[in-house]
Structure formats: structure tokens, C-alpha cells
Amino acid sequence: MLRDIFRPGFLRRLEFLKIDVRRVHLSARKGGYESANKKGTSLEFADYQAYNPGDDFRYIDWNLYGRLNKLLVKTFKEEVELSVHVLLDTSLSMLYPEGDKKYEYSKKIALALAYIGLSSQNSVRVAAINDSLPEDTGRYIIRQTPFFYKLNGIFRIKDFLDGIHPGGEADLQGFLSRYVYENRGKGGSVIIISDFMVPPSSYKTAIDLLRFKNYDVKVIQVLGADELDPFKNLSSGEIIDVETQERKVVNVTGAVKKKYHKLLSEHNTELRNYCRANKMAYILARTDMEIEDLILREFPRIGFVR
């Protein structure tokens, strides 16, 4: 049950939110996303545009023509469907450090965003990054839900998320290449939820593909307190890469701590600056922040929802 995860009052507040969009490919289905860029069928006035041959004479504003001697056509807002793609990193690094509970926190974000999208009468799909299943052909298929169009689809999305077990390495570039190919013709808003503990060249190449295909991209980087400061109670130890199993013994000196914080800060700053330079919404979501504060306070502030 959703009420085992979220308070009923929180769910009710989610129903009044919409996924914010900076650029998007809209479908022809009716939905909850207002577009003022096309002549719609609703009664809510949007703007004027110059008359072009073939435009409906009924929408010409003859009063303005009398004053300006220009033929201007009224346009109206239309409710159209926005496709929302929630892509959740399911690589093994999302389970570590264990105390941060990054994956559980990320699942809640994914579920809340799916609930917002469905409440707005938009189509929503959730996919697992790197949780692929082999086919007999030797190819790999992506684990993803169908597109859901009604709010009751949230229960199948929850079941899907509950059935995922993180594992393997993060291959964002390979995953997004397959995902874009399989979802061709179904543009919309792509929300990537990950710790982004991959080389910048990898995520940039991957996300550039989404931008080239005109998706509206939003980035949620999920990190916890133990990952942001892993050496606060250590003087020495063995570091293990959970995805490759590479091991390294380190003595945790002041210089080591300083270097770690410097490298992590530079890594996170590069991701944030890349997103801002390309007009993509970005947030660093710390797992020690209440999920309700993140969704209801921080997401509207940075343009994730409105």
C-alpha cells in the first residue's frame, strides 16, 4: 500500500503538482499539460498570432483589425499529454554505503514523481537502469513498465520497483542508447535518478543523446551522509569497489580526507554545471532530508515540479 510509504496528506498534496517542462515533444492525446503554442479546443485564451492562409476566420479578432489594420488570430490553451520517463539507477553502488539507504530513498522519489505524473493525466513509465535481462538472441532487454495513463497504474509501478534487486555496474551510455531506440517516437520528460558515480564523460555522452532527441531532461543525484564524509570515524581500512570488486588499502590521513572531499566536490560541481549550462534541472538529494521536504519544498524551487 502507498500509505505504508507516504502519509495520506502528502499524497493529496502531490495531486496538485505537475511535472515542469522546459522543452518537450508532446503527444496528440489529451492530458494535464497546458500548451499555449498550438491552437487548442479549450475556452481559455492564450495569445494572438498573425493570421496565416488556412486559419479559421472565426478566431480573427476584428476589433484589433479595426485598430491595428492587422489580421490577428486568437489562440487557446490546450491540455495535451506529457510522457514522463522515470529512469532509476539500479547498479550495485546504489546499495552502498549501506547506512545511506540511497536505493530506498531513490525508489520513493521515483514513486512520488510517477504519482505526480499520473495525477496530471500524463503517461508515465518507470525503467531500471542496468537491470537488464538476457534474451535467447544474446541481446539485452530493458526492464521497464508499460506506459500508464491512469492513477491506478501507480500500484503496478510500486510492484515493479519492489521487484528490482540492484546489481552490476552503471552503464548509463549503453542503457540510454537502447532506451531511446526502443522508445523512439515517445518523447517527453526524462528524469534520471542516480548517484552518478561514473566518469563525467560517460554521463555527458549519454545525456547528450537525450538532448539531441529533444527530451526534457531532469537530473536527481542521490547521495547520503556516509558517502559525503566516509572517513569521519576511520583511521585506516580497505576500500572495495562494490561494482568491480577492486580492493585498495588506505591510511586515512588528513591529506587523504582533504583529497577525497576535493575530488567529490569537483565531481558533483561538474555534474551540476553541465546541467545548468544545458538548461536541465538538477538537484543533489541527500538521503538525510525528509522525502516530503524534498518533493514539496525543493523540487518546486528548482523547477522540477510546479
Q: What is the pLDDT of residue 135?
A: 58
- Considering only residues 252 and 180, tell me which one the structure prediction assigns the higher pLDDT: 180
Q: What is the CATH number of the domain that holds 224?
A: 3.40.50.410
Q: Looking at the structure, do residues 175 and 265 belong to the same domain, yes or no?
A: yes
Number of domains in the chain: 2
Q: Looking at the structure, do residues 153 and 273 belong to the same domain, yes or no?
A: yes
Q: Where in the sequence is the domain holding 191, given as residue range(s)?
A: 2-28+82-302
Q: Looking at the structure, do residues 140 and 59 belong to the same domain, yes or no?
A: no
DSSP state of 145: P
- pLDDT digits over 103-162, tens only? 999 999 999 999 999 999 899 999 999 755 555 555 667 899 999 999 999 999 999 999
Q: Looking at the structure, do residues 96 and 233 belong to the same domain, yes or no?
A: yes
- pLDDT digits over 205-257, tens only? 999 999 999 899 999 999 999 999 988 766 666 667 766 778 877 777 888 88
The stretch 39-64 carries a mean pLDDT of 73
- Considering only residues 78 and 210, tell me which one the structure prediction assigns the higher pLDDT: 210
Residues linked to residue 88 through DSSP beta bridges, in sequence order: 128, 193
Q: What is the pLDDT of residue 38?
A: 43
Q: Looking at the structure, do residues 208 and 285 belong to the same domain, yes or no?
A: yes
Predicted confidence band of residue 36 (pLDDT cuts 50, 70, 90): very low
d(CA 133, CA 135): 7
Q: Looking at the structure, do residues 249 and 137 belong to the same domain, yes or no?
A: yes
Distance of CA 221 to the CA centre of its chain: 10
User: C-alpha angle 37/39/41, rounded to 5°?
Assistant: 125
- Considering only residues 161 and 66, tell me which one the structure prediction assigns the higher pLDDT: 161
The stretch 41-56 carries a mean pLDDT of 72
Distinct helix (H) and strand (E) counts, the chain: 10, 13
Q: Looking at the structure, do residues 56 and 135 belong to the same domain, yes or no?
A: no
Q: Looking at the structure, do residues 267 and 191 belong to the same domain, yes or no?
A: yes
User: Which amino acid belongs to residue 40?
Assistant: G
Contact present, 194 and 89 (Cβ < 8 Å):
yes
d(CA 186, CA 189): 10
Q: Looking at the structure, do residues 41 and 182 belong to the same domain, yes or no?
A: no
Q: Looking at the structure, do residues 221 and 110 belong to the same domain, yes or no?
A: yes
Q: Answer yes or no: is pLDDT of 179 > 80.
A: yes
Q: Looking at the structure, do residues 51 and 97 belong to the same domain, yes or no?
A: no
Smallest CA-to-CA distance from 81 within 23, 36, 124 is with 124
Q: Looking at the structure, do residues 137 and 223 belong to the same domain, yes or no?
A: yes
